[in-house]
Structure 1
Amino acid sequence: MSLSLAILAAAPFADLAAIDAQVAQFTGAPAGEEGGAVRPVDRRLRLQDCEAMLDLRWNTASRQTVVVQCPDTDGWRIFVPVRSVSVAAQAEKQVPVVNRGDSVAIAVAGRGFSVSQPGEALESGSAGDWIRVRKAGEGRRQSGDTLRALVVRPGLVRLSLP
C-alpha cells in the first residue's frame, strides 16, 4: 500500500495554470471575462502530465465549451465551460484574422520541441477556427497534401499532434 502511495505521490501532474493559459489563448479571452472560461480549471484535479501537445477544440458550433484533451495513450479529456459573448462582440470576433492566400507560419510543438515552416492558407478563418493550409511552394497539388490547422493569430496556425 505504501509503495502505491509513493508512486502516486511521485507521478507528475499537468500544470493547471498552463491549461488555463492555453484555453485563454484558444478562446481569445482570459478566465472570467466574456468569451473566456467561466472560471479557471478546478485546482483539485490531478491530471496526468501530458507528453504530447494538448488538443483544444470547441465542443459544439455554439462555442459554449472548450474540450481540452491529452492525446497520449492513457490521456484524459476535460470540458471547460465558456462565458457567453454579446452579439456585438461575437460579430467582431468572427472577423477573419487569416485570409485565403495569406502566408502563414505552420507551427507544431511538443514536449521539448517546436518547429515551424512557411505555408499558405487555403481558407479564411478567425482565431480558434480550423482551416486548410499547405506548405509554401507546393503549388497546386492533390487534396491529400493539405493539412488542417488551428488559427492562433494573424499569420500563425498550429497543427495538432496525433
Structure 2
Amino acid sequence: MLSLFLLSVAAPTNLALLDRAAEIFAGARLGEPGGPIAPIDRRLRLANCSSSPEFTWRTDAHDAIVIRCPDPRGWRIFVSVRAIPAAPVAPAAVQQAAVKAEPVIRRGDPVTLEASQSGFAVSADGIAMGDAAPGERLQVKMEGAKAPVQAVAVEAGKATLPGW
C-alpha cells in the first residue's frame, strides 16, 4: 500500500483538468474575453496535490489567475486572462462627465474652515488659494500659519478639513 501511495503522490498533476478548472473559475472559455489566454504549458511537471488546488485572482484587475497547491511543498502557477473589452459609453454619459461643476470658492475669497463632530465644532478664517467646486480640494492660507491648509469646498465661503 505504501508504494501505491508514493506512486500517486509522485504522479504529475493533470494539466488539462487545471485548464478546465481555470475556465470555470474565470467564467469564460479558453481564448474568449475573460477566459485564459492559452492552455497551461504541457512541459510543466507539477507534483500531484494531496488536496484540491486553490484558485484566486492575482489582482482586482482580474488579469491573471493564481492556481496554488496548498501542500507544504506545493506549487503555484499563474494563468493569464484575456481582457474583457470595455463597454461603449453612451453619449449622454460622456456629456455628463464633460460638464464640470462651477466653483463655489474662487481664489482670493474669504473662507471659513470648519471641522465638527457631535459635541464640538472648530472654525477658523482664511483665504482661498485656488478655485474649487463642491467636494473638490483646495489650499487655504491661514493667518499666522507658515504653510497653507488643505481643505474641501462645501459651499460658497465654507470649507472643511478632509475627513471631517
Greater Rg by CA: 2
When the two structures are superposed, what TM-score results if normalisation uses the length of structure 2?
0.47
The answer to which structure, 1 or 2, has the higher relative contact order (CA under 8 A, 6+ apart) is 1
